Amino acid sequence: MSIRAASHADSWYTGNGTALNKELREWLQQVEPTDETFPVQGCKAVIAPHAGYSYSGPTAAWAYKAIDTTGITRVFVLGPSHHFYLNGCALSSCEEYETPIGNLPLDQDTINELRATGKFEPLTLQADEDEHSLEMHLPYVRKVFEGKDIKIVPIVVGAINEEKEAEYGAILAPYLAKPDTICVVSSDFCHWGTRFSYTYYYPDEEASSRSGFDLSRSVKPSPSYPIHESITRLDKDAMDILTIPPKSAETAHRDFARYLQKTKNTICGRHPIGVLFAAMAVLEKEEGVKPLVKWVRYEQSSQCESIRDSSVSYASAYVKF
């Protein structure tokens, strides 16, 4: 049986099962929303980060605490490709994914159905194990579904355009509509700094995306508006676009693509997010579904003050029907 190893254990997170279980439990226990009750009844999807757990583990807990596990037997996990070019989506060839707190079987029936569409490429074991965007969610999935019989459908989403996002969204929509299915979307938000080749900056809190510009050693930020506040504004603009209601999923999907064209914000999971919103747009039209998307946590790895600094942003959201 082909098993994908937990290749990032002992580097991006602890490989000690006992320690990892304790860590995840404590992060989940620390989630205390003030304006709603977790888990969220009717939760159908979450968006959460995939950095090393010391950076993004506590933020991801806010998404996973929202999941109502009642009746769920299948979990789709959509993550971006970081290591190879892919103009489409790819499916794992493995039968099981390893985590230090218990393995996760893949839903071979669903994967074979998706393969039969002719729209998905095969993922080699090497490419599978190199990619961290899926793996960083596996321990959380195993933890929140502790003791439950579930199967996963991991999908690597490539650098696809808005039209292809809609195409894959239409393929996945019927699965998302089923009451036994939930979807995890893997994404960090802004990667800011010269090491990411991204130094976009709003000069003040009222600035529009058209008045933003790139910082450099000769072009410095305003003393009254720190870089980290500009990054927050940049990310919050995206989160506002991806909040439903008041807009529809179809409108949010279109507006998010336009936002990315303007700002070039380095949201690495932008295409998995696009596929999710495209799937919800189909369900709005064909099933009369009225999705709600709410962002519940936002953090930055550090606070940038100068062009020499860098940071990665982390955000968590849940989707309910």
Residue pair 50/137 in contact (Cβ under 8 Å)? The answer is yes
Overall residue count recorded for the chain in this entry: 321
pLDDT attached to residue 113 = 98
13-22, 27-36, 202-211: segment of lowest average pLDDT: 202-211
Residue pair 56/133 in contact (Cβ under 8 Å)? The answer is no
pLDDT attached to residue 254 = 97
Q: Could you give the percent of the chain with pLDDT greater than 70?
A: 98
pLDDT attached to residue 139 = 97
Using CA atoms, how far apart are residues 286 and 214, in angstroms rounded to an integer? 43
Using CA atoms, how far apart are residues 180 and 264, in angstroms rounded to an integer? 36
**pTM over 0.85, yes/no:** yes
Cβ density class 287-305: b for 16+ within 10 Å, e for less: eebebebbbbbbbbbeebe
Tokens representing 60 are 């991801």
Is residue 1 very low, low, confident or very high in pLDDT (cuts 50, 70, 90)?
low
What H or E segment, with its residue span, contains residue 48? strand 43-48
pLDDT attached to residue 83 = 81
Q: What is the mean pLDDT of the chain?
A: 95
Contacts for 221 with CB less than 8 Å, ≥ 6 apart? 201, 203, 215, 227, 230, 306
pLDDT in tens, 262-280: 999 999 999 999 999 999 9
Residue pair 28/63 in contact (Cβ under 8 Å)? The answer is no
What H or E segment, with its residue span, contains residue 182? strand 181-186
What residue has token string 């940049």? 234
pLDDT in tens, 36-76: 899 999 999 999 999 999 999 999 999 999 999 999 999 99
Q: Is the pLDDT of residue 248 over 90?
A: yes
Residue pair 188/49 in contact (Cβ under 8 Å)? The answer is yes
pLDDT in tens, 187-223: 999 999 999 999 999 988 887 666 799 999 999 999 9
